[in-house]
Amino acid sequence: MARVLSLFWSQPFLPLAGRTKTTLCKMSMDSRARKVFAAALKAVQPHTVVQQNVERKDDAIIIDGHKFTLQHNLHLVGFGKAVLGMAAEVERIMGDHLVKGVISVPHGIQETLQQHGKHHLLLKENSCIKIIEGAKHNLPDTDAQKAAEEIMHLASELQEKDILLVLISGGGSALLPAPIPPITLQEKLDVTRKLAAAGATIQELNTVRRALSLLKGGGLAHYAHPAQVVALILSDVIGDPLDLIASGPTVQSEVWPEEVLSVLERYNLLHTVPVSVKDVLGRTSPRWKGNKDQTDKAEHVLNVVIGSNSVALMSAGRCVRELGFRPVVLSPGVCGNVRSVSRLYGLLAHFACSREEPPPEIATEVLRLGPEVGVESWDLCRTMQVLGEGRTEGWGATCMLAGGEPTVKLTGKGRGGRNQELALRVGLELRGLDLPPSGPVFLSGGTDGQDGPTEAAGAITDGRLYEEAQAQGLDIDSFLINNDSYTFFSCLSAGKRLVVSGLTCTNVMDVHMLLIPPIPINIG
């Protein structure tokens, strides 16, 4: 294994591993970690990502290098948890060229934004954009269905000279339910719930959703033809797959009834689905009625991801440099069980903090865990290269950044979320290492500001966690068994380790960081 790693270590990692030493600031490690997380959140705010990706030049807009002429011909639709703020910024940029709009947003969001003083994320009083709130508890409902119907109606009336700007963010699928008649919303929900409970993958769930929906899988783009469709997307899915974000309403995808029937049969649900679902799947005609020219062309649709976990990590990396650390991004696609993810981060911390050449078994175990957590071997080797350089060359002040969406296996009924549980487990992994400011600090936070059913976005931890808990009479194992990480961190030292960001108005999954100060090494 040492020979394998030496192949990667023979060349400097230029993009992230600068040779210039930077003087560390006097902030505590805890404060620096929190500042880096705040920088990541700031970069993916709804109004920020629109500002950075929509350029207005006189009577034209430029998006992703494409220029579109404005002639009071711009219409807007949107659906998702962050689209209200996105729409407010579009409204400010476009002025009276914006003719009409409909957006589907979470129930109660306007009142919540007002209470938190987020007035810049609200529409003007005389706005031409209609707001429909729905999807209580993040589940499709009749209000969300009404919004979907109005969005479909607006799109259907557009002509070739028109531009339809589509705003999409996390939660968009639940806010755009449009089941194909005679399927009812409840029937469609029941089918997808049964599939999810049976263990269907996200790809299988989306295959079924698209087949039963008028707007998903490119349906919205179809109804808007021949108008120009431009979708601005704030991604909350690993890898930013356009067909999975809100089930791809602007991404044309073929729907084969045979494929859907195969999925239902795989999970023994074929004979229990409603008659209406069987009726729709048995049709030979397309999903959409031919009210428009059927020759949809790809050049009439532009999909642009304007915000993602990668964008958040890039901003975090810039902040890390300002704070005197050398950043290295492991991956924006970390997934898998938090047990495996915490083990990986613990191994990398021990690798980076070793005062002597780390045993080869650490690298072997790191590479073994890679497939379990969605990280490529190349990315692991590249990261260990930078961490190793920090140790052997005396730099040492390094920050490993990562993102994604790990999962938690529920074994109890406590309060918490994947970020707090990950931080708790990583804290156990860091046991035995030096304590800050000489030892590493780990932070995990959800960019939506709400980790599970709690007010916290996540938590911050280090090598003293176990002893701190013992001294306060807190049994870590019992909290983990009950999935009660929020209660644990609330009780531990009066909650000082919790990361509470408040309302973020965005969501690009989670941000993880491991801050490693300069490590004195033994030269013998």
Query: Are residues 462 and 392 in contact, defined by beta-carbon separation less than 8 angstroms?
Result: no
Residue 507 has pLDDT above 50, yes or no: yes
Residue 1, pLDDT score = 44
Residue 395, pLDDT score = 61
Share of the chain above pLDDT 70, in %: 90
Instruction: Classify each residue of 381-393 as buried b or exposed e, where b means 16 or more C-beta atoms within 10 Å of its C-beta.
Output: bbbbbbbbbbbee
Bridge partners of residue 101, in order along the sequence? 76, 129
Residue 455 has pLDDT above 60, yes or no: yes
Pick the closest to residue 217 from 226, 228, 205, 227 (CA basis).
205
Residue 289, pLDDT score = 59
Lowest average pLDDT, out of 14-28, 34-48, 119-133, 501-515, goes to 14-28
Give the span between the Cα atoms of 376 and 428, in whole angstroms. Answer: 25
- Tell me the C-alpha to C-alpha distance, in Å, between residue 376 and each of 204, 334, 366, 463: 24, 10, 11, 27
In the predicted model, what is the mean pLDDT of the chain? 90
Count CB neighbours of 96 within 10 A. 9
User: Tens of pLDDT along 210-269?
Assistant: 899 999 999 999 999 999 999 999 999 999 999 989 999 999 887 788 889 999 999 999
Residue 19 has pLDDT above 70, yes or no: no
Lowest average pLDDT, out of 114-118, 178-182, 298-302, 425-429, goes to 298-302
Instruction: Answer with the residue of higher pLDDT: 171 or 63.
Output: 63
Query: Are residues 203 and 193 in contact, defined by beta-carbon separation less than 8 angstroms?
Result: no
Residue 22 has pLDDT above 60, yes or no: no
Bridge partners of residue 231, in order along the sequence? 166, 303
Query: Are residues 512 and 403 in contact, defined by beta-carbon separation less than 8 angstroms?
Result: yes
For residue 520, is the peptide bond before it cis, meaning its omega torsion is within 30 degrees of 0? no
Can you say how many angstroms the Cα of residue 115 is from the centroid of all Cα atoms in its chain? 25
Give the span between the Cα atoms of 12 and 10, in whole angstroms. Answer: 7
User: Tens of pLDDT along 165-189?
Assistant: 999 998 899 999 999 999 999 999 9
What are the structural domains, with CATH classification, of the chain? 46-307 (3.40.50.10180), 309-516 (3.40.1480.10)
Average pLDDT over residues 514-524: 74
Query: Are residues 87 and 50 in contact, defined by beta-carbon separation less than 8 angstroms?
Result: no
Residue 368, pLDDT score = 98
Bridge partners of residue 443, in order along the sequence? 460, 513
User: Tens of pLDDT along 275-331?
Assistant: 999 999 888 766 665 545 544 456 799 999 999 999 999 999 999 999 999 999 999
